[in-house]
């Protein structure tokens, strides 16, 4: 029931003092506009291959981040991070490190998830689009922090490997409304691919730590 209906009922019952704040009116207008915009996108975008219009449906985390323009207040931020902590699935075999050489290939590849990509071919992580990782690769983006020397600086302790795995699996569990894709949660990378990327960050022999 919206505030107008409530006011009408209140008026009908002769209840005095039905005050509607400007904030409530603005919030209702915003919600109506968002619904209208979503409806417009749903009718104008078309499913093509694996790129389906279902991608427009936001989960609770995405909806909250949209609502607060990626800058939620502390309590909402904590709520998002706590929720996403519960959504992270760590490997059943307890092993977090795979093969760093395979991890480097995942970090280099930006292929996957577009309508023109074969959904059977494993997707890449495109880590270099946002992070520096090795000295050898000079072409990288800087939306994210440099991960060069990640293991060397943080140490090779199991808790750090667990943090790296969890972060790559679901960045929202550590920083609400992060720009980093939720690679495990959104099924972009497989468990083995994430292990390989964790090895890239955490293996002392990896070029990340040389």
Please report, as ranges, the residues that interact with ligand HEC according to CB under 6 A: 107, 125-127, 129-131, 143-145, 147, 164, 167-168, 171, 174-175, 178-181, 183, 197
User: What's the closest the beta carbon of residue 127 comes to ligand HEC, in angstroms?
Assistant: 3
- Are 125 and 182 in contact by the 8 Å Cβ rule? The answer is no
User: What's the closest the beta carbon of residue 11 comes to ligand HEC, in angstroms?
Assistant: 49
Beta strand segments in the chain, E: none
User: What's the closest the beta carbon of residue 159 comes to ligand HEC, in angstroms?
Assistant: 12
Closest to ligand HEC by CB, 1 vs 143, is 143
**Dihedral through CA 158, CA 161, CA 162, CA 163, nearest 10?**
120
- Are 207 and 132 in contact by the 8 Å Cβ rule? The answer is no
| Residue 178, both tokens | 């992060």
Q: What is the DSSP letter of 178?
A: -
Closest to ligand HEC by CB, 80 vs 197, is 197
Closest to ligand HEC by CB, 4 vs 95, is 95
Closest to ligand HEC by CB, 66 vs 146, is 146
Tokens 């059977």 belong to residue: 120
Tokens 């800058």 belong to residue: 71
User: What's the closest the beta carbon of residue 74 comes to ligand HEC, in angstroms?
Assistant: 17
């Amino acid at each position: 029931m919206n505030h107008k209906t409530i006011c009408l009922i209140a008026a009908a019952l002769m209840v005095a003092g039905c005050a509607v704040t400007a904030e409530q009116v603005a919030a209702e207008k915003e919600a109506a506009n968002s619904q209208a915009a979503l409806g417009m996108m749903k009718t104008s975008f078309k499913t093509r291959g694996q790129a389906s219009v279902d991608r427009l449906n936001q989960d609770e985390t995405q909806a909250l981040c949209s609502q607060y323009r990626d800058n939620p207040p502390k309590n909402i931020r904590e709520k998002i991070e706590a929720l996403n902590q519960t959504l992270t699935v760590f490997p059943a075999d307890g092993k977090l490190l795979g093969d760093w050489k395979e991890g480097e290939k995942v970090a280099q590849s930006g292929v996957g998830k577009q309508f023109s990509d074969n959904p059977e071919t494993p997707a890449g992580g495109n880590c270099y689009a946002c992070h520096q990782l090795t000295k050898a690769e000079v072409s990288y983006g800087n939306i994210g922090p440099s991960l060069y020397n990640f293991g060397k600086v943080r140490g090779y302790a199991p808790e750090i490997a667990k943090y790296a795995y969890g972060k790559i699996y679901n960045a929202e569990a550590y920083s609400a409304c992060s720009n980093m894709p939720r690679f495990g949660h959104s099924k972009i990378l497989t468990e083995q691919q994430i292990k390989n990327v964790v090895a890239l960050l955490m293996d002392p022999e990896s070029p990340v730590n040389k």
